Amino acid sequence: MKRDVKDLSVNSERMLERLLTAMPEDPARFRDLCGGVEDWDLLLTRALHHNVESLLHHYLQQIGFTLPSAIEERGHRWKTIKDLWQTHVQCALDEALATLDAASIPVIALKGPILAERFYPDPRMRLSADLDLLVASNDLDRAIAALKTIGYGAARESEARFLRKYHYHINLSRPCPPLIELHFRLSDGFGVEVPAKEFLSRARVYGRRAGPVAYILSPEDEMLYLCIHATVHRFLRLSWLYDIKLLLLRHPDLDWAALMRRAQSLRLVAPLRFACETLQARLGVRTPFDDATHHRTRTRIANFLLAATARQPDPSRRFLLGKLGFMTALCDGPGTAWAFLHRQLLLIPRRRAHRHFPSLTPEEWSY
């Protein structure tokens, strides 16, 4: 019985991927695929997990496909709640951008409502749990001070100290969400710290329909960022891959050579290629980077570890080891692999020491 349930879930996952391959550019194929769905309740549950349920409902309405009334009613209730939340998140983003602009702090809006506004039929379709903003490292303190004027601050100073030293963003919150993840690096995965300054220098103004001016990454930088973000998070949400698909549909003239040069200079070629291969395997989107013969061994190892971690509870020792192995396999070389492992293996005994001797160790050792 358990095996049957697992098989149904896997089948629904694969069908969801096939539906996303046809959206938005092939409505006829999308309609045909809809006719083959055996369990809409299970499929929409998987779509909700992957943050594409509202998107799927939109395209079902576009082709006039009618779902069972109970599922339609549930979808309508969820859409109402989601729309209210997204409207609130958009207001919080506008307030944060206006505050940083008034303080003359250059900032880029990553992912979130601005991406949804640019790529999705309705920006409320892409749920944002928090806000991601990128500032230069030397502007971080000024940005924190500016956002404090609208109620945002670090929940714990010990956590803020830890994140400044070992992470690429700090968390700022206020009594009413959403949380702001204030990035001072673009990423720090795969043994590489990616400074914000270079990306801020290439930022573009996005002309919004309403609200304060927003700056966004250049298309090549955004492609690199979305690929790295999805890979670091092990593609847990299909929406992250679908974001990349929509970016490529919006920018068919993407400069792939410039993208590869930037990835090479940052030593992020392996995770970029792996994201492109995963995009092709799961959503059928081909890129110039998804057929690298000399990367096949690395790809097989990464895919094996990706599947292995998916079967383990989080947190658990096996999950942690699988995650470390996956990230290490996609480091560009021995130097970056050692840098990544050295940092991670340093933090593990610190956490254990704090767990056993909390009064004798700094509080930031708990993170």
Is residue 7's pLDDT more than 80?
no
225 and 208, same domain (yes or no):
no
128 and 241, same domain (yes or no):
no
Does a structural domain hold residue 157? Answer: yes
222 and 188, same domain (yes or no):
no
Does a structural domain hold residue 270? Answer: yes
Q: What percent of the chain has pLDDT over 70?
A: 96
Query: Is the dihedral angle over the CA atoms 268, 233, 195, 256 positive or is it negative?
Result: positive
Q: What is the CATH number of the domain that holds 181?
A: 3.30.460.40
Does a structural domain hold residue 361? Answer: no
Choosing from 217, 250, 277, the residue where a domain stops is: 217
187 and 89, same domain (yes or no):
yes
Q: Which domain holds residue 293?
A: 218-332
* pLDDT tens digits for range 96-141: 999 999 999 999 999 999 999 999 999 999 999 999 999 999 999 9
* Predicted model pTM: 0.94
12 and 121, same domain (yes or no):
no
Give the HSE-up count for residue 156: Cα atoms under 13 Å, Cβ half-sphere.
Answer: 10
Does a structural domain hold residue 128? Answer: yes
DSSP string spanning 220-280?
HHHHHHHHHHHHHTTT--HHHHHHHHHHHHH-TT--HHHHHHHHHHHT-HHHHHHHHHHHH
202 and 240, same domain (yes or no):
no
Across 229-233, 240-244, 293-297, least confident range: 293-297
